Amino acid sequence: MQKVNESCQLKEYFNVVNGETCKPQEGEMARSINPATGEAWAKIPLSKEEDAEQVIQSARKAFAGWSSLPARTRGDYLREIGDMISEHAEELLTLETKNNGWVIDEYRYLAVVLKQIWYDAAGAAALLGGQGRTVQIGGGNFGFTMRKPYGVVVGILPWNAPLFTFTMKAAYALAGGNTVIIKPSEHAAVGSLRYGELLAQVLPPGVLNVISGTGKDIGNYLVGHKEVNKVSLTGSKATAEIITKATAHSPKSLVFELGGKSPNIVFADADIEQAVQGVMNGIYTRNAGQICVAGSRILIQRSIYDEVTERVKQYMTDKAYVKFGDTLNTTNTMGPIANEAQYKRVCSYIDETTQDGGEIVFGGKYGGKVLLPEQPEYANGYWVEPTLIKAENMDQKICKEEVFGPVAVAIPFETEEEAIQIANDTNFGLAAGVWTKDLGKAHRLVDRLEAGNVWVNTYGMVGVDLPFSGVKESGYGSDSILDYTYEKACVMNVNE
């Protein structure tokens, strides 16, 4: 993101406040950078505290009317949004690809997923939004509960998957009767601003608002405001710490979906080719490893270690398999790192590893000039090739810290017990993968791995019918209708 003057001839996108699009009050805009080229392609608002106050009041004003609607009526609105997605899917996916560099093929499924989430939220609003429990307390006392919305919810989005996280937060918060403010990352705001504009055409004014700006300029103000009742973050531990401090004077319900250093564990009795494909899909290609559940620690039983790493190498060094270039071209299989700051971070991990004497199994190169020499239009883009680093234990920095790029470590293990010990030797606990034909072993691993999500003989599959959350430093809570409502209890004395 770069500040710009108004003479720049780039398409502008605006905040969505009270059902209308509007510039920030000071009129300041910033460039949005296409990570494939390193060049500006759009302008986004650089909002300030007065703009944040405006969206808070918009959401607060709309809350009474929205929350008082019958749950089924709220569901009707959400279902209409689901119906609308198909009409604008291509536009939104194109914006998202330019926003953060994921190849368009990675997003093809997204239109279906977004529709499914809105439809699921619509059904959940009717089925769960107004339900409660009854309790026979005894002594002439009768207890019951009801589910109530929190009020104004702020959803803070990451730059790697804005439309998906926007939908998860907004759909279920709205289903529960809350009004919503979405703050996208300033590194990838365009798709969310346009998405909000489309949703505002369906929803009553002020029910959903979108504001673009930095965490320093508006983020702290939003989350710390006394009229904001809940905050849901998908992002980093560092941002979660800032939010925790900012809300200390005005405590509120928090949901944190943070990072991970997820183990993808391959046992000798696994289907080797299936496991190799799962390992690659868990960290490489398409999204370039920029996903919170990335299987960035590949644990391989020692007896098959050389075979697995060699097979992965053959795929990842095959130019017919890994193709860089135009992210809107469906034949290309891997995109760039989403922004310059993250690009420099990923490159620094590669450089530090080589300087410390670490062994790179394959990869290690970066930069558009190096990786796309015949495509000069991408010379300034943030490109990093798939990289695998050999590690004998968890002592290396790259084994402990989240890189968030197409960089993985391969760690050998001997026994099931050692695999569990290595897998759990991390401050994170978001996800894990297990590759084995032994059902008993699979169940033991699922039970003992310290992760909120475990996949067996597959990797990365999520669904609206399952929770998605982490443990340890990967956060807590989830974006579900139950998490966006609280249970109010009443005890009534019914004696005459």
Alpha-carbon gap, residue 194 to 453, rounded angstroms: 32
Annotation says 257 is catalytic: yes
- The beta-strand segments (E) located in 267-398 are 297-301, 359-362, 387-390
Torsion of CA 38, 44, 49, 55, to 10 degrees: -140
Alpha-carbon gap, residue 404 to 342, rounded angstroms: 8
Catalytic residue chosen out of the listed positions 28, 292, 399, 402: 292
Largest Cα–Cα distance of the chain, in whole Å?
A: 87
| Residue type (1 letter), 48 | K
> Around Cβ 367, how many Cβ atoms within 10 Å?
17
* Residue 324 and residue 284 in contact, taking contact as beta carbons nearer than 8 Å: no
Give CA angle at 466 (63, 455), nearest 5°: 145
Q: Residue ranges of the alpha helices (H) in 284-323?
A: 305-316
SS3 category, 233: strand
Strand partners, 210: 16, 182
Catalytic residue chosen out of the listed positions 28, 257, 385, 473: 257
Annotation says 186 is catalytic: no
Task: Please give the DSSP secondary-structure letter assigned to residue 474.
Answer: G
* CA-closest candidate to residue 455, choices 242, 208, 274: 274
* Residue 144 and residue 484 in contact, taking contact as beta carbons nearer than 8 Å: no
> Around Cβ 344, how many Cβ atoms within 10 Å?
12
- 74: part of which helix (H) or strand (E)? helix 71-100
* Cα 18 from chain centre: 26
The strands making up 230-234's β-sheet, listed across from edge to edge, are: 20-22, 15-17, 208-210, 179-183, 152-156, 230-234, 253-257, 475-476
SS3 category, 488: strand
| Residue type (1 letter), 357 | G
Task: Please give the DSSP secondary-structure letter assigned to residue 363.
Answer: -
Alpha-carbon gap, residue 170 to 181, rounded angstroms: 8
User: Among all residues, which ones are annotated catalytic?
Assistant: 257, 292
